[in-house]
Structure 1
């Protein structure tokens, strides 16, 4: 059952550097990257991803929908043990097509679901569904205490083999774009047409490739304090 919206709470005080924009990289010259995983449509690759991250001692960031948190609370708790769990709205709508009241409800119900699952308060981290935003929607999420996190590189693993992708192509796409502060977008679900979990399958090779190139790993929490 969809949770009711929680009552008003004190908003996070976002630094100016996190307001009015979508952050697409961690500002650093150090050889570190931030692996991020979205959860919305399904959890088919989540167990594999979490097992790999734990076994390799790699932190990561997660952005889950309220529907995902409600359906997979144990997974959200495991995510929170690896890194921060951010807000990805309740039902993954294109926020540029809905009003401010709907945006606020999407944020608040999702926060409630993530907290109920044991993932903690997702603030201040948020990711726009489809990466779709405009000045109005950005101002609305900022006013609710959220910084918008985008990505430097989309692995495109979500396209699956039916979309012309393979594990090797995912690995090459991510590693060929490596740069200090890179934010990588991957997904915990499966492609709905072919059932593949390319991001989960590619992750061990992605981690190994970064380490071979002398890279370490960070999370979006590195952005705290602006």
Structure 2
């Protein structure tokens, strides 16, 4: 049976397939108000093109009302809970370690996956999708403000279809902008495709790799400095350079969990808060 990780430990939550409901989204909007976008840019990935413009996901209404125009950098909660999120856009080299650490502690998490990752690493994508909500992270990880409207729509829809083929269901209606690169027009277009935009409170920058000085200690230090109720932690499941085989985030994760536990925090995925 598929387990969708939710609030706290060993508690299922979220709508079927790990996706939030529209009623839940409105509840989030009422609680959140206007949460300012924040954070730093992420790592570089390849950029490709699709010649076809595939159809949008079936039955996904546009995001309207207070949720529209937002790129959520923190969850609107007062409880001492954090959301662990993992971007899947390059290699799957750290997937085994990430899933093992989450499973060992029965923790919820949310993954943001590119369409290319889903197609190139379908087995890893399926393993992730069996247990956790998976959001859209574009097809090829381009900078959205540099694309045309049609190119942005193509990135969203092609990724949606690729992820669905890999994990066996449509992705959760959550989107993370590649590199954190965004403007209001991009947000509006993503909302029109039915996605709520989710940023991060803190980027561990483990994606830089050991060769660039990223270590378990630097990962923990960055998160501890930004730790706050509702914090969204950005990590990555793999390496981003063929020259550096390290998977710093995956290696650091068990130790980061211990550090967060030591501050009296619990965990939540993004989906249960809006489901």
Shorter-chain TM range is: over 0.9
Q: Do residues 59 (structure 1) and 108 (structure 2) align?
A: yes
Q: TM-score, normalized by length of structure 1?
A: 0.93
Q: Distance in 2 between matches of 1:4 and 1:119?
A: 21
**How far did residue 11 of structure 1 move?**
2.7
CA RMSD of aligned residues (A): 1.9
Q: Distance in 2 between matches of 1:222 and 1:17?
A: 19
**How far did residue 13 of structure 1 move?**
4.8
Which of these residues, 214, 217, 221, is aligned with residue 267 of structure 2?
A: 217
Runs of 4+ in 1 over 4 A off after TM superposition: 1-4
Which of these residues, 141, 150, 157, is aligned with residue 190 of structure 2?
A: 141
Q: Distance in 2 between matches of 1:89 and 1:111?
A: 8
Q: Is the contact between residue 44 and residue 188 of structure 1 (CA under 8 Å) also seen in structure 2?
A: yes
**How far did residue 71 of structure 1 move?**
1.1
Q: Which moved more, 1:156-165 or 1:107-116?
A: 156-165
Q: Do residues 164 (structure 1) and 225 (structure 2) align?
A: no
Unaligned runs of 5+ in 1: none
Give CA deviations for 1:55-87 in whole Å, capped at 9, x if unaligned. Answer: 110111000100000011221222123321000
Q: Do residues 203 (structure 1) and 203 (structure 2) align?
A: no
Aligned with 1:38: secondary structure? strand
Q: Is the contact between residue 60 and residue 82 of structure 1 (CA under 8 Å) also seen in structure 2?
A: no
Q: TM-score, normalized by length of structure 2?
A: 0.77
Give CA deviations for 1:155-210 in whole Å, capped at 9, x if unaligned. Answer: 01011122222111111211232110000000011141321111000000111111
**How far did residue 12 of structure 1 move?**
2.8
**How many residue pairs are counted as aligned between the two chains?**
225
Q: Distance in 1 between matches of 2:56 and 2:233?
A: 34
Unaligned runs of 5+ in 2: 1-49
Q: Do residues 100 (structure 1) and 149 (structure 2) align?
A: yes
Q: Distance in 1 between matches of 2:103 and 2:169?
A: 19
Give CA deviations for 1:24-58 in whole Å, capped at 9, x if unaligned. Answer: 11110001100000011111111110111111101
Q: Is the contact between residue 85 and residue 120 of structure 1 (CA under 8 Å) also seen in structure 2?
A: no
**How far did residue 94 of structure 1 move?**
0.4
Which of these residues, 77, 81, 94, is aligned with residue 45 of structure 1?
A: 94
